[in-house]
Amino acid sequence: MRVSATNLFKLRHHLGALAIGGAALFERLVLSDPVLDASLPWGGLPRGSIHQLEGVPGDTSVLSFAAGLTSRCAGPDGRALWLRLRRDRQETGEPYGPGLARYSLPPDRLMLVEARAIPDLLWALEEGLRCTGFSVALAEGISPDLTASRRLQLAAEASGVTALLVSPGPVRTRSVALTRWRVTAAPSARGVHRPRWQVELLHCRGGKPGSWIMEWDDAALGFAVVPALASRALAQAV
Amino acid sequence: MIAPAQGGLRVTAVDSLAAGEGIVPGLPIADARALLPYLAVREADPCADAEALARLAGWCGRYSPLVALDGADGLLLDITGCAHLFGGEDILLADLTRRLTGFGLTLRAALADTPAAAWAWAHAGPGGVLPVGVARQALAPLPVAALRLPDGMAAALGRLGLRRIGDLMDLPRAPLTARFGDAVARRLDLVLGRASEPIAPLHQPAPFRRQLAFAEPIGTRGDIDRALEHLLDGLLVDLDQAGQGLRRCEFSVFTVDGGVQRIGIGTARPSRERRHVLRLFAERLEEIDPGFGIEVMTLEAPVAEILPAQQAALEGGPATGEAELARLVDRLQQRLGRHAVVRLEPVDSHIPERAVTLVPALAPPSHRPWMVEQPRPLRLLPSPELIEVTAMVPDDPPLTFRWRTVLHRVAQTEGPERLSPEWWRDRPGTRLRDYYWVEDLEGRRYWLYREGAYGEPRAPRWYMHGLF
């Protein structure tokens, strides 16, 4: 019997949903690059679930990648919730409006929340995930353990709000996040104003890990994968 | 009690024993000691007295919302419409006296038709309830000092043989006013209720208020919860009838030992949702320490706004996005603080740190987009950090820089973008900034600036300001 690609995709999709106990199929979010979307088993990033992003110490690129992802999740008229720890203010700076403009996050659709301690942040995140007024909730500076991540996942599933959990360094705890990414800076080949990220998909439920160099596409307001060969050739040419 | 006064230390207050020995306030300390060598003397502390009086005023809120300070040692309660809650004026006054005496205080309490009459009855009369309509006869034998006349005027009246209030009542007013100004006539009017005297309450009474007094003090969390729900139900009925929704709500508990504890909540939009308000309070009810028991509770809505009656969504049913958002903001603010839940708003300024301001999360949107001519960083450091920079030529972009002890080698730069100080806002001498976009060898991107220019008397300095 010949199994068509669509059927296989549907089956995977279904199994993915069953694997974490949710009855509904995930609505997916297209990251706008066909190469990237095709390498995720859902054909994009599933909404209504939690995703982890980690950086490396001394490199805040993961935050700009997360901002791009937040913008994709929010779309043209969704609201975003951005949670931070107060003590990170000076360390990583505060979200800066004019810089957010590039990722198409207008001022009236982004709510900023500052917590003093991690338990408060987790509580606020869970409250936010239960509120259908948001499309996406981004939390900086946390990597919840299994129990906490399960709570968050259940809240996200019920409301359909996507949660992005950003950790400044490597994540050491296990969680139920569907995907885990490591983002570092990559030298830009086309000038300072065309940032690039080295993006590694470390963990993906039902999918294979991968690694890409990505750029932010200002016109499409989405991610674009830079072909590995081209990036090297260009980098050498510059 | 003694305090420094004109001509040295003088007695300011005495207890009943000392008074019995002839010691009166105003006496120099030396004279007092001569009268009574073993007199125990303490220094007066007017600040602590004032604080204690203010605390006591807070406690008196259990009897009436309108409590005013009266001089340095008096309290004035407007109990209009409150007495029946305690079973009548006599019982209220007796209850107040009993409780305050129980706290170890010595007091004189009086209840009358006007504040001035009550003052006179408490200070110069026997105290207690002055029955309605007999004020004239009852006050007549009191000395004129009970009218609270300006300094020296009572003595001046005394020299004319006018020693009792009754002496003044029958006099024609014109000569009295001609001689003493209108103070005497006015005070007389106030005492007799012919003129009204406003009192200045410490706390403006809330437009919506509910109170609950317990026959037996309560203390368990379950009882407090139930009592609060009961109060809230009543308050919501009042609000509903007035077509208003609460923006702030204050819950006060009065404990047996004379303490008052208050917790308040706020909402971003006017609300009459029982479940929501209870949930906001639930976060903070643990702070209440019932001590030996709670006797009285009040729930007030000091700030309310118009909220037209509407078809209420079934509780727990699906809510609209906006209403749900408002409830979320309330909960977040309740736990994290009012300034922890915000959004950004553009400001017209080319100085980077002034181009943004924080506004309440649910402030109406201005729909102004970000004004961006040149790329700006995603993150801005609240205070720019000094960095060490090396460059080929002083005016050149940096080759390497050291930030937070890490040396970064620069791969590419762009700039400078020159930002001059805003002369209408900055202090004279503020230096201009040249901003550079810098990428290091690893691809990490930064926004640096040089403050000042070469050739100025002060050498320029480099700062890290933003991260991409």
Q: Is the pLDDT of residue B8 over 60?
A: yes
The mean pLDDT of chain B is 85
Q: Is the pLDDT of residue B324 over 90?
A: no
Contact B419, B404 (CB under 8 A): no
Side-chain half-sphere of B191: how many Cα atoms within 13 Å? 31
Say yes or no: B321 contacts chain A, CB-CB below 8 A: yes
Query: If we measure between CA atoms, which residue out of B311, B429, B435 comes closest to residue B373?
Result: B435
For the stretch A154-188, pLDDT in tens is: 999 999 999 999 998 898 888 899 999 999 999 98
Task: Provide the chain A residues 48-67 that lie in CB contact (below 8 A) with chain B.
Answer: 58-61, 63-64, 67
Contact B444, A185 (CB under 8 A): yes
- Who wins on pLDDT, B323 or B441? B441
Domains by residue range for chain B, with CATH: 2-44 (no CATH), 71-192 (no CATH), 208-336 (3.30.1490.100), 379-467 (no CATH)
Say yes or no: B325 contacts chain A, CB-CB below 8 A: yes
Annotate B381-392 with three-state secondary structure. EEEEEEEEEECC
Side-chain half-sphere of A75: how many Cα atoms within 13 Å? 10
CB-based contact B382 A59, cutoff 8 Å: no
Domains by residue range for chain A, with CATH: 28-237 (3.40.50.300)
Q: Which phi and psi (to 5°) does residue B153 adopt?
A: -75, -35
Q: Angle at which helices B183-192 and B115-123 pack, to 10 degrees? A: 90
Minimum Cα–Cα distance from B465: chain A residue: A93
For B205-222, what is the mean pLDDT?
87
Cα gap B433→B452, rounded to integer Å: 6
Q: What is the pLDDT of residue A233?
A: 46
Measured between beta carbons, which residues in chain A are less than 8 angstroms from residue B413?
Answer: 192
- The complex's ipTM? 0.84
Q: Angle at which helices B221-242 and B274-282 pack, to 10 degrees? A: 140
Q: Is the pLDDT of residue A67 over 90?
A: yes
For B275-289, what is the mean pLDDT?
88
Token digits for B327? 């409830």
Cis, peptide link before residue B126, omega less than 30° from 0: no
Cα gap B208→A190, rounded to integer Å: 65
Q: Angle at which helices B173-180 and B183-192 pack, to 10 degrees? A: 130
For the stretch A100-150, pLDDT in tens is: 888 888 888 899 999 999 999 999 999 999 998 899 999 998 889 899 999
CA distance A98 to chain B (A): 5
Side-chain half-sphere of A124: how many Cα atoms within 13 Å? 32
Confidence band (pLDDT; 50, 70, 90) for A13? low
CB-based contact B355 A98, cutoff 8 Å: yes
Cα gap A217→A101, rounded to integer Å: 13
CB-based contact B412 A192, cutoff 8 Å: yes
Task: Provide the chain A residues 78-107 that lie in CB contact (below 8 A) with chain B.
Answer: 79, 89-90, 92-103, 106-107
CA distance A5 to chain B (A): 38
Confidence band (pLDDT; 50, 70, 90) for B106? confident
Query: If we measure between CA atoms, which residue out of B216, B196, B223, B342 comes closest to residue B288?
Result: B223
For the stretch B17-75, pLDDT in tens is: 888 878 888 888 888 888 888 888 888 888 888 888 888 888 888 888 888 888 878 88
Contact A201, A175 (CB under 8 A): no
